[in-house]
């Protein structure tokens, strides 16, 4: 009896799952790789638009123009805020904006608590635990996991609120 092999792979949105003889699995996997390599690369959410008052185009992230993004976020090895929101819940709102920034600018689907702590510390926020601080905005943020492995993302209302906060930070 010939040994059975199984392989399961996910590349972007494409998934491959095969089971059978080694030669058959290898042949199918190579065909999968050929097909995936021919697929068009995903397009980023940013788009270029022309502003009639400015001769050069500007990039828009979601609904936020690039000049605003540049005034709110400092992008490098670690995404941080240039300043914090001037609200009653400044630390919770800053975390909301950081989750938005990591999602929209860094392309992260979910942001880990460890990443948020690093970004918050470098921003200058005084946060002992992300979960306690975010509790004030729990209606806008989804979370899953435990301890440092907890992952955060924004719901639709959270995205809208983060965009509102970002605009308010540059006014």
Highest mean pLDDT, choosing among 17-31, 63-77, 151-165: 151-165
Q: SS3 for 154?
A: strand
| pLDDT score for 93 | 93
* Of 157 and 9, more confident: 157
**Domain ranges across the chain:** 5-38, 47-169
Three-state secondary structure of 17-36: EEEECHHHHHHHHHHHHHHH
DSSP H or E segment with residue 116: helix 113-123
State which fold the 47-169 domain adopts: Arc Repressor Mutant, subunit A (1.10.10)
Strands (E), the chain: 5-11, 14-20, 47-49, 58-61, 64-65, 73-74, 80-81, 111-112, 141-144, 151-154
pTM to 2 decimals?
Answer: 0.64
| pLDDT score for 168 | 92
Q: Please, are residues 44 and 37 in contact by the beta-carbon 8 Å criterion?
A: no
Taking CA atoms, 51 is separated from 56, 60, 170, in Å, by: 8, 11, 19
Calpha distance 71→144 (Å, rounded): 31
| pLDDT score for 53 | 55
Q: Phi and psi of 50, rounded to 5°?
A: -100, 130
13-58 tens-digit pLDDT: 788 888 888 888 888 888 888 887 777 655 444 454 555 555 443 4
114-149 tens-digit pLDDT: 888 899 999 998 888 888 888 888 899 998 988 778
* Of 88 and 1, more confident: 88
- How confident is residue 1, by pLDDT bands cut at 50, 70 and 90? low
Calpha distance 133→141 (Å, rounded): 12
């Amino acid at each position: 009896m010939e040994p059975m092999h199984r392989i399961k792979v996910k590349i972007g949105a494409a998934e491959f799952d095969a089971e059978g003889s080694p030669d058959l699995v290898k042949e199918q996997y190579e065909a999968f790789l050929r097909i995936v390599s021919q697929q068009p690369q995903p397009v980023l959410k940013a788009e270029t638009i022309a502003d009639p008052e400015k001769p050069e185009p500007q990039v828009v992230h979601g609904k936020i123009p690039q000049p605003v993004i540049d005034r709110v976020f400092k992008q490098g090895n670690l995404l941080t805020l240039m300043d914090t929101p001037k609200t009653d819940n400044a630390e919770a709102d800053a975390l909301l904006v950081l989750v938005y920034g990591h999602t929209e600018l860094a392309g992260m689907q979910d942001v880990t608590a460890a990443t948020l702590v690093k970004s918050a510390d470098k921003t200058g926020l005084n946060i002992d635990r992300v979960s306690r601080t975010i509790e004030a905005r729990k209606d806008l943020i989804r979370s899953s996991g435990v301890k440092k492995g907890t992952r955060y993302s924004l719901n639709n209302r959270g995205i809208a609120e983060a965009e509102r906060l970002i605009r308010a930070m540059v006014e």
